[in-house]
């Protein structure tokens, strides 16, 4: 199974200039990547919850790759979120299966950057519109990272943007995504943070056995507990 899991929520990825290029760029930079194309896997069909859970459990980094539809995710990805991030899997008393996994939102935005500002016609920033997904990550105890997004990622022949410009922006977007994932998986800071998170999670439900903690403690350490 792959450490990097990309959930592609485009309803017709084959016809996407931007999302296809982003994914291809990521695949050229990382070997251990699994792509879950929701459009070809399911479309109108029932989602295989077991398969989706297995893919998520094996991953260290989860990327939600999607075009910005009406300030949110496409309907197919919303259905995936509703059904796959289920009770006692992603949340609830036993819902810790995604804890400490990295989540990155990778978003292609059609409109220009200036439209997503208080004086723009959309009034709010892209990151503000993505707050519900950020809270979803917190509820699932995932490590949420600042989303990666690019503007003017739609090509309409003779009307809006040049195809080469959109593709170039998509390559740059994919490069940023690949670099962020490399940092999360391989930088010393990320490795230490991951270790600390797992170590302290064990303190929430202490067992009688202490072997899991002792090998990482200095022999000179003295604990004074009430």
10-residue mean pLDDT profile of the chain (226 residues): values are: 89 95 97 96 95 97 98 98 98 95 97 96 98 98 97 93 94 97 88 74 69 74 80
The whole-angstrom separation of Cα 33 and Cα 207 is 36
pLDDT at res. 213? 67
pLDDT at res. 204? 67
pTM, whole model, 2 decimals?
Answer: 0.85
| Nearest CA among 190, 182, 133, 216 for reference residue 29 | 182
Tens of pLDDT, residue by residue over 198-212, are: 767 766 666 777 676
The whole-angstrom separation of Cα 91 and Cα 45 is 25
Collapse the DSSP code of 116 into the 3-class scheme (helix H, G, I; strand E, B; otherwise coil) and give the result.
Answer: coil
Torsion of CA 27, 163, 118, 143, to 10 degrees: 0
Tens of pLDDT, residue by residue over 89-99, are: 999 999 999 99
pLDDT at res. 156? 92
Angle, CA 59 vertex, CA 143 and CA 74 arms, to 5°: 75
Residue 106: in which H helix or E strand, if any? strand 102-108
| Nearest CA among 85, 128, 113, 96 for reference residue 169 | 113
Specify whether the backbone of 178 is left (phi greater than 0), alpha (psi in -120 to 50) or beta. Answer: alpha
């Amino acid at each position: 199974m792959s450490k990097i899991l990309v959930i592609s929520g485009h309803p017709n990825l084959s016809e996407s200039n931007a999302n296809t290029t982003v994914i291809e760029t990521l695949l050229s930079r990382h070997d251990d990547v699994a792509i879950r194309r929701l459009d070809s896997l399911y479309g109108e069909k029932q989602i295989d919850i077991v398969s989706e859970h297995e893919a998520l459990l094996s991953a260290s980094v989860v990327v939600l790759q999607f075009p910005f539809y009406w300030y949110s995710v496409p309907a197919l990805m919303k259905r995936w979120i509703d059904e796959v991030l289920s009770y006692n899997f992603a949340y609830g008393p036993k819902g810790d299966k995604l804890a400490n996994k990295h989540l990155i939102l990778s978003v292609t935005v059609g409109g220009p950057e200036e439209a997503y500002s208080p004086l723009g016609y959309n009034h709010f920033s892209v990151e503000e519109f993505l707050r519900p997904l950020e809270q979803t990550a917190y509820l699932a105890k995932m490590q949420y990272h600042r989303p990666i997004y690019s503007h003017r990622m739609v090509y309409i022949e003779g009307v809006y943007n040049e195809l080469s410009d959109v593709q170039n922006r998509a390559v740059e977007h994919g490069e940023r995504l690949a670099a962020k994932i490399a940092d999360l998986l391989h930088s010393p800071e990320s490795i230490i943070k991951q270790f600390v998170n797992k170590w302290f999670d064990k303190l929430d439900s202490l067992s009688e056995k202490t072997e899991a903690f002792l090998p990482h403690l200095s022999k000179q350490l003295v604990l004074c507990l009430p």
